[in-house]
Amino acid sequence: MTKQKQKLSRFHWYVWFPYPSSWIKALFITIYLNVIIIIVRMTAIIGYLTAEIVDKPHTVIFFGIFALLTPIPVITFTHHILHLFLSKYIPGIQTLEMKNTQGFEIKIFSWWEGLYGWVVIVISIMIATALCTYLLPLFDLDYKIPVHRYTYSQKKIITVFGIIFIIVAALLYQFEYCFKRNLLFTNSIDGKNLQNKPNINSDINSNINKLRGDMGLYKIKDKNKKTNVRLKVKD
């Protein structure tokens, strides 16, 4: 047992390497991406059909933008429902800000998860697409070939895309964790400084008065002893 503890104490997890929580969030957003794609596709189809019915082409643009932003409320609502379940059955694993989640009043932290989840999806897709573009010749592919015509070996590019997506998403969630930790640390330091500010000011004033007394310019009044001391200036 002692040797195992020593090994664990020597183990160092680099801050830039995603923590398990970051990997879990990345896997969740990857699995949930299929649901998001279906919802976005349905929103786009509804927008296209609506534009044809009302005979206003610019309606397609409105629904297109709405479809692209759909993941934000979807992830937000899912995050809220998840914590409703955790609050009822597994409250011990919840973070402090999400404890006692009740009803349909969505907390700001759920909205943040929705917004940041959307950012993670967009950036991860962009980076994965950019990297896979350079790998297409290795799989004898180009963008002219539709996905449903991929051979078994060519479909491996989809697996590569998914792996890159998960890695980028985990790194982005790790960045979020580091940012929150640094923000909380800064706020705690500022809070301590604010609490100690009167003491610091009194120390500075006492040091300034002492310096002036050493120069023979002023009287020094010791409030604790309530006595006055006069310093004479030497000629």
- Whether 1 maps to a domain, the answer reads no
pLDDT at 204: 42
Host domain of residue 45: 22-197
Is the Cβ–Cβ distance between 124 and 165 less than 8 Å? yes
CB 18 within 8 A of CB 26: yes
Compute the distance between CA of residue 203 and CA of residue 200 in angstroms, rounded to an integer: 5
104 within a domain of the structure (yes/no):
yes
Task: Tell me how crowded residue 150 is: count the other CB atoms within 10 A of its CB.
Answer: 15
Query: Domain for residue 38, yes or no?
Result: yes
pLDDT at 62: 84
pTM score > 0.75 for this model? no
Identify whether 129 is part of a domain.
yes
Helix (H) or strand (E) holding 222: strand 220-222
How many Å apart are CA 101 and CA 33, to the nearest integer? Answer: 25
pLDDT by residue, tens only, the chain of 235 residues:
455 555 544 556 677 788 888 999 899 899 888 888 888 888 888 888 888 887 777 788 888 888 888 889 989 988 888 877 777 666 665 565 666 666 677 878 889 989 999 999 999 999 999 999 888 888 888 778 887 788 888 888 889 999 999 999 999 999 988 888 887 667 666 555 555 544 444 444 554 454 444 444 444 444 444 444 444 444 4
Handedness of CA 53, 55, 61, 66 (dihedral sign): negative
Tell me whether residue 189 is in a domain. Answer: yes
8 Å CB contact between 83 and 98: yes
Is 153 part of a structural domain of the chain? yes
| Euclidean distance between CA atoms 216 and 230, whole angstroms | 9
Domain-embedded: residue 227: no
78 in any annotated domain: yes
Domain count, the chain: 1
